[in-house]
Amino acid sequence: MKVEFLVENIENYLPVLSKILPLHSQIPVLSNILLVAAPEGLFIYATNLEIGVRIKIPAKIEEKGATTIPGKQFIETISSLPKDKVEMVLEKESLVLRSRNNKIVFQTIAREEFPNIFEQKGEKIRTFAEGELGQIFSKLVFAVSSDDSRPELTGILLSQKGEDIDFVATDGFRLSLKRLKNKKIFDESSSLILPARLISEAILLKAPNGIKMYIYKKANQVIFETEDVILVGRLINGEFPNYERVIPEASHTKINLDTEEFMQKLKIASVFARESANIVKVNVAGGKVKIHARSSGLGEGEVILEGEQEGEDNEIAFNIKFLSDLLKNLPDTTVSMELLSSIEPTGSFQ
């Protein structure tokens, strides 16, 4: 194996490699990346058995071959090298990198020990235009659960409802829904749960020609592909909660607020809410929203912002962290808050 490549052709992909490589693995080869020199170019693989990636790098291939080397150390090395040509040669059980006056030697593990991240792509479901994944999923990933005891809540549901499709995330306390009208991803009414961590990486991919999504049901895998990158993850098994049952069909109170001002007022209230389980009381009356937080050991804070109110006056309590997460992920300059009642303490935002 003998390869030449430019540092600038690989450095943009180092963050995704770093995030996929496990911090501590009981399987030594998973701490490695797989390097494959083929006629089409240099391919770099990494996996933690939940998510895998294959990256294609433009390179001059003088001798074909493959091996695995320590991933974190390779990333640190490439990050530290000058933007210049790098020669990479496999010499017995070592991989040698040379760049200018620098020489780095990595111990290797045979490629045969590295797991195969995918057998085939499967059925092509959709091609997302550049930026479309971010527009859909960036408003959802913040509501995903980090509790692995309920794996179905660590993913995002795709549910085809006739001609419309719902994208849904929930951690059991909050729920985020994105509905696309007249968009068909599946030929018939069906649903699946995508791992949120895979989605978070796919959103960051640069893809001027779009991102293709594949489902390989036999292996229970989902794939996102650009011209140079393939991301692989496992579909999540489990029964997603009946989200339609908890979404209010109507509201007693609606008020439109300035998103930036709302965020600023929440920051003030959070000073005291942090000491009281992040709970704030929200009172809507006369076109004004009063947010109140109290800490028995520190004091209390009350902020007021004005908006355009429809319906009756109302009061509810929220977790301020959930409100902040929501507003950070809303691109619009205004947000609509809709409330039922103190007896039915449900709030929705659009």
Domain boundaries, the chain: 2-113, 123-244, 248-349
The CATH code for residues 248-349 is 3.10.150.10
How confident is the model at residue 342, as a pLDDT? 64
Q: Can you spell out the DSSP letters for 266-301?
A: HHHHHHHHTTTTTEEEEEEETTEEEEEEEETTTEEE
Contact 136/180 with Cβ under 8 angstroms?
A: yes
Contact 9/43 with Cβ under 8 angstroms?
A: no
pLDDT tens by residue, the chain, 350 residues = 999 999 999 999 999 999 999 988 889 999 999 999 999 999 999 999 999 999 999 999 999 999 999 999 999 999 999 999 999 999 989 999 999 999 999 999 999 999 999 989 999 999 999 899 998 998 899 999 999 899 999 999 999 988 899 999 999 999 999 999 888 887 777 899 999 999 999 999 988 999 999 999 899 999 999 999 999 999 999 999 999 888 887 888 999 999 999 999 999 999 999 888 999 999 999 999 999 999 888 899 999 999 999 999 999 999 999 999 999 888 789 999 999 876 666 788 88
The CATH code for residues 123-244 is 3.10.150.10
Closest CA to 202 of 222, 219, 183: 222
| Cα separation, 224 vs 227, whole angstroms | 10
Q: Architecture of 2-113 per CATH?
A: Roll (3.10)
pTM of this prediction exceeds 0.85: yes
Domains 2-113 and 123-244 equal at CATH topology level: yes
